[in-house]
Structure 1
């Protein structure tokens, strides 16, 4: 049976889907990109709950985007579901190989090795003339088996896909966090040796978490590519991965909805900061992050818990 919270979230998702038909396209565009990045951050949160921080999620964010762009261009297809499936397969193949190495490392070594692989992809793409080199190339606007809908001046399919994916993935990851495999991550973060004594393979748990995080990042990259209509190697650059870590720290890891909400807040804050101060908008974001770290060290989601406790008292 569905709990009240799930019913409320389902109602919110349906309301957002219909709201896209009337809201300005710039806002639906912003929400779509934010939710796509929220999927990446949700994967990062899975790793952070196990005590690992990845500065290389841009690897799969970019790989998913380029897989969609290259596949659609080579096979002349614009089917949304097929392109998302291609992004998933791409992430599974790469992460199943890279994860064999990274699952052996912890702390700063995990963070730096993950960033190194991301920068390797960046270097390859910059030198690949067939893939547009540093300029990248355009991506086809998706359809759903030939059907599409335009509202407020843009294609609504990616907006709807982002909302559906956010709801479905959020529900699955919430159940995953409640499962033995999901809770093993927090146990690994607290005491990895004791987990091994219990007969659980820490490397296997981290390997699975890494693959899940990679798939989510690839889906986020695919949605972003089809929404923006253009991809370039900057999607694999370390600053992109750093942005995901920024959002994760800002949002917190207390709930699966935190990365999604945090990504929307981040995009709104960045848009506002750029409008107010186009040359120093990074400073505004930095000040915002410092304020959150000082006053809300567990992220913005902890504010909800504090408000609920205050209401009960």
Structure 2
């Protein structure tokens, strides 16, 4: 009940932001939601003790699936694009997960990175997909309703807010129950989980598909906000950003990825504006400080204050 109330409050706040904020803030908020959704999926994997350095694969698949509907099949509905992005990424995750669910630790991380770089190489070499330049996409309707000129990004933010809040609530319910305890048990001692009659492979596989679908949804939302896709969306640095945000926020709450994504975007914007030549170093120093002083992530500050209250 408490989670539902918080979800409604957050959704109302985001809708208010979409309707009243300036366009630049609406754009940044949409990117924050897109990356937050991807990191939420990464959080699902981290519950089982796995870190994927290849979520850029599904982020890129989601973005290109949405763009292809607009560019090649002339589908201009944003809802269809977001659905296509999530479904295409989920399908690819369902296929690759059959292999990756058998691996753990560094082998899982490196294999996921390898698949992401394979997609990047294919996109760069594919002239039909715009090669290194990518191509544009345009959404003119949402659920069949025409979007007046200038309101598209506000509609994308509202749609992204609804999807992000729904995903967060569903995962909160999922991991607050038996499945969540099973996932953490796989992380702590999967041999004992096997002895108890459960399948660690099945747990990892399903969580991997969930993470892939969320990354595809985030990729489609980001593509709609930017209005352009390119191979950089599947590059290893993009996957690294998602891991950075996950570490920045921590794994204690489903709200942590969105808080961390907002801080990451704000930090990158400020750093690139005032120190354009060394903004990457600024992010690196922030990462170093988090690891040294807050190894459990920024959300640990919230948990600490909650315990002391």
Output the TM-score relative to the length of structure 2.
0.96
1:184 counterpart residue number:
182
1:147 counterpart residue number:
146
2:28 counterpart residue number:
30
2:114 counterpart residue number:
116
Residue pairs, 1:17-96, within 5 angstroms: 17-96=15-94
Deviations 1:99-142 (A, max 9, x none): 00000000000000000000000000000001000110001134
Segments of structure 2 that go 5 or more residues without pairing to the other structure are none
- On the 8 A contact 2:57/2:115 being kept in 1, the answer is yes
Residue pairs, 1:1-313, within 5 angstroms: 2-3=1-2, 5-144=3-142, 145-149=144-148, 155-310=153-308, 312=309
What is the DSSP-based 3-state SS (H/G/I as helix, E as strand, rest coil) of the residue aligned with 2:277?
coil
Post-superposition shift, 1:154? 5.7
Output the TM-score relative to the length of structure 1.
0.95
What is the DSSP-based 3-state SS (H/G/I as helix, E as strand, rest coil) of the residue aligned with 1:20?
helix
Q: Provide the C-alpha distance between the structure 2 equivalents of 1:129 and 1:101, rounded to a whole number of angstroms.
A: 30
- On the 8 A contact 1:55/1:238 being kept in 2, the answer is yes
Deviations 1:185-216 (A, max 9, x none): 11011101000001011111100000000000
What is the DSSP-based 3-state SS (H/G/I as helix, E as strand, rest coil) of the residue aligned with 2:19?
coil
Post-superposition shift, 1:60? 0.3
Post-superposition shift, 1:18? 1.9
Between 1:249-258 and 1:66-75, the stretch displaced more is 66-75
Q: Provide the C-alpha distance between the structure 1 equivalents of 2:14 and 2:87, rounded to a whole number of angstroms.
A: 29
Post-superposition shift, 1:175? 0.7
- On the 8 A contact 1:53/1:111 being kept in 2, the answer is yes
Between 1:97-106 and 1:175-184, the stretch displaced more is 175-184
- On the 8 A contact 1:149/1:156 being kept in 2, the answer is no
- On the 8 A contact 1:141/1:227 being kept in 2, the answer is no
Q: Provide the C-alpha distance between the structure 1 equivalents of 2:236 and 2:6, rounded to a whole number of angstroms.
A: 37
Deviations 1:277-313 (A, max 9, x none): 0110111111111111111110011100111223x2x
Q: Provide the C-alpha distance between the structure 1 equivalents of 2:206 and 2:250, rounded to a whole number of angstroms.
A: 22
Q: What is the Cα-based RMSD across aligned positions, in Å?
A: 1.3
What is the DSSP-based 3-state SS (H/G/I as helix, E as strand, rest coil) of the residue aligned with 1:191?
helix
- On the 8 A contact 1:80/1:143 being kept in 2, the answer is yes
Post-superposition shift, 1:20? 2.0
